[in-house]
Every structure is written in C-alpha cells, then in structure tokens.
C-alpha cells in the first residue's frame, strides 16, 4: 500500500513527525511532497532535506508551486493545479492520503485514494508551523535538533 502526505513543512515540527510516523506505520511506501513558494523565507529544498534526514525510509519530494492553496473543494482550477503538480512530481497511484487538514478529504477524492485524518485538533502534538515561525525559541520542544540549529544560527 502506498501513502501520500503533502504540505509546506514550514518548518518541519513534531506535529509533522507524528503524522509521518502514523502514516509510515500503516503503509508499505510513503511519499511526502514538500511544496514551497518564492515568498517563503525557509527554502523548500532545505525543509525536504531535513525530512529525508529524519525519515530515511520515506520518499521525500520538493516541488516549487506558486499557485494558491487548495482549500475550497469547488475551486476546480486550484485543485487541478495541485493535482497536476502532484502527478508531475510523483506519477504514482496512491492508496491513502494522510493529513490533519480539512483539504485532505478532497485531495484524496481527486486522487482516487482514501483519506485518513490524523489528529486534526492537534491534541497529540499541540503545535503549528505558524506558531514556530512566529517564535521558534518558544517552540524549541516541538522542533528537532536539526531545525533548532537552523534557528539558533540566526539564519531565520
């Protein structure tokens, strides 16, 4: 069975790690797609490399994508752009899409896969990328040492 997780991972944090471990335990092959844009201050390829280091048994792909995020299920133009990016980046059939986000159901439907929602209320790991970006040092416990090192270096 093949699974998919998409996201910005901006930056990767313990909540993402929880999602990835949850998914990895349930599929034979897991793919993660790190989408990034030009207006982000942390390079998407760096984020993808951190995930590769944290999860060497997972296929991690980085993909530049300027179009809008697909939150509206009836926004066919936006969804088509995302589905095209996913298929261009990794032209495989996915059995499951794992997410903690409401868009996961529509993404899975459009990929002819099953959606598996994981901790949408962030109970297991109460953190978000927005919170980390706002104050990384206040979120130290929620980010891996590799990501901490980036923030501690002053590059952020």
What is the enclosing helix (H) or strand (E) of 29?
Answer: strand 29-36
Q: Report the CATH number at residue 6.
A: 3.40.50.620
The two tokens of residue 103 are 């868009």
* Largest pairwise CA distance in the chain: 43
Q: Is the pLDDT of residue 90 over 70?
A: yes
Read off the pLDDT of residues 50-70 as tens digits, 9 standing for 90 and up.
999 999 999 999 998 876 666
Residue 69 belongs to what domain range?
A: 2-152
Q: How many CB atoms lie within 10 A of CB 76?
A: 12
Q: How many CB atoms lie within 10 A of CB 55?
A: 18
Total of domains in the chain: 1
pLDDT grade for 1, boundaries at 50, 70 and 90:
very high
What is the enclosing helix (H) or strand (E) of 99?
Answer: strand 96-99
Give me the pLDDT at residue 74, please: 78
For residues 96 and 109, what is the distance between their CA atoms, to the nearest angstrom? 10
Give me the pLDDT at residue 71, please: 66
Regarding pTM above 0.75, the answer is yes
Read off the pLDDT of residues 93-130 as tens digits, 9 standing for 90 and up.
999 999 999 899 999 999 999 999 999 999 999 999 99
Backbone CA torsion sign across 125, 128, 133, 134: negative
């Amino acid at each position: 069975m093949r699974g998919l997780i998409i996201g910005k991972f901006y930056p990767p944090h313990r909540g993402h790690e929880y999602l990835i471990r949850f998914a990895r335990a349930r599929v034979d092959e897991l793919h993660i797609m790190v989408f990034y844009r030009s207006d982000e201050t942390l390079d998407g390829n760096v984020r993808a490399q951190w995930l590769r280091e944290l999860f060497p048994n997972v296929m991690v792909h980085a993909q530049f994508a300027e179009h809008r995020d697909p939150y509206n299920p009836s926004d066919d133009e936006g969804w088509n752009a995302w589905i095209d990016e996913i298929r261009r980046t990794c032209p495989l059939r996915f059995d499951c899409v794992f997410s903690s986000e409401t868009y996961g159901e529509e993404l899975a439907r459009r990929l002819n896969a099953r959606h598996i929602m994981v901790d949408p209320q962030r109970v297991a790991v109460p953190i978000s990328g927005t919170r980390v970006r706002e104050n990384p040092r206040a979120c130290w416990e929620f980010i891996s040492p590799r990501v901490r090192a980036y923030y501690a270096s002053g590059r952020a």
